[in-house]
Structure 1
Amino acid sequence: MIVLRNRTTVLPGRSRGDVTTAAEERQLLYRERVLDAAEREFARVGYADARMPDVAREAGLSLATVYKTCTGKAEIWDDLQGSRMAGLLEAVAAATAGTAGLERLLVGVGATAAYLAERPDYLAMSLRVGTAWASADGVGVQRTVWSDGLESIAAGHAAAVAAGEATPLRSSVAAGLVVSALQVWLSDWWRSGRDRPVAEVVDELVDHLRRLLVA
């Protein structure tokens, strides 16, 4: 098992507890290179326009070697989404520990914004999908990831309303407003050339959401 950049890669058909051979270790390393290269390529041109030969070139591997590590860009995309979202969940859990109600919701959204902003290639490839995040109409497993995120935010808003800390509003609508604001703030920051510190962007977003949601 190889762990790079907070991502654990496991060969298809294997579990994390399996012992790997030297050949499998090499394949794992190749797969990591492919995933990292694909993330940069998705960030550069978007998922739809990304081509496997370009991913291979970016990874410094032959196209044949790339196809030995994965079946194609759909598998790579889903692997990236799954690994990045696992990291995001860990970051949000750590940030929101000991919080409750509206504060938990706002801290969680702030942690999400910071996590995405600190991973510019992943942020860029997410923005390049070209759909509204609040619609949950992503690509591949991204649809499930975004849908789960909306449900989590809706539950957080419902808890804040129950505690008397947020304006009564249909929670699915509140979740859409929160995710839309997250996308707008990060997109503006990205398109402006990342012109200010991440912490400042997070504070702006959280202050806006507090004004929007507070009863």
Structure 2
Amino acid sequence: MISRALGPEFGGAIGLLFFFANVFSAALYVAGFVEGLLSNFGPGGTLNLDPPLPEDDINASFKGYSYLYATVVLIFCLIVCMIGGAMFARTSLFILMVVVLCTLMVIISTFVKQASELPIPIPIPRTNTLVYPDVNNVTENVTTVFYNYTGYSIHTFMENLFGKYTADYTNPKVIQNFAIVFAVLFSSVTGIMNGSNMSGG
């Protein structure tokens, strides 16, 4: 449709942009899904499964669980696409219902839970030497850092209002800045496709 309206030169350029945006966004979304899956159903997860889903561990013989889960998700997506557009439409409707339900639960929970009633686990990787300096003695990749839920608080709002950039554990010598945080946050929260949509395509 773009090539018919703008010609093959513009259509090809914009189509190529959309193609690569789809490829990278699919990889990003699958990786985020696997991370959320392990945060909830993995060892030390919030849902406390018994037994929990196995995940990559420093001392484990098999270190490809994250890739295994991502591959299964991608195969499922491939099957949905190969069945056809009708199946994709039904799947999209189901996913939309789940997203709407989760969004409503987030809004409702802010009024149900009282301040400091719920300690929130912070999923910090064990390789983060700024939090876990003695990483060699760690045998399990579980979360042990918690913050208390403060509810609607003007004090918390003022604390989080301005940027407090620090070093990243992957490169402690470099202090992060707005551009780096925005590059990660924009693609993670809004999606790479949003950037290509804003380009006018």
Bigger Rg, which one? 2
Query: What's the TM-score, normalizing by structure 2?
Result: 0.26
Query: What's the TM-score, normalizing by structure 1?
Result: 0.25
Which of the two has greater helix per residue?
1
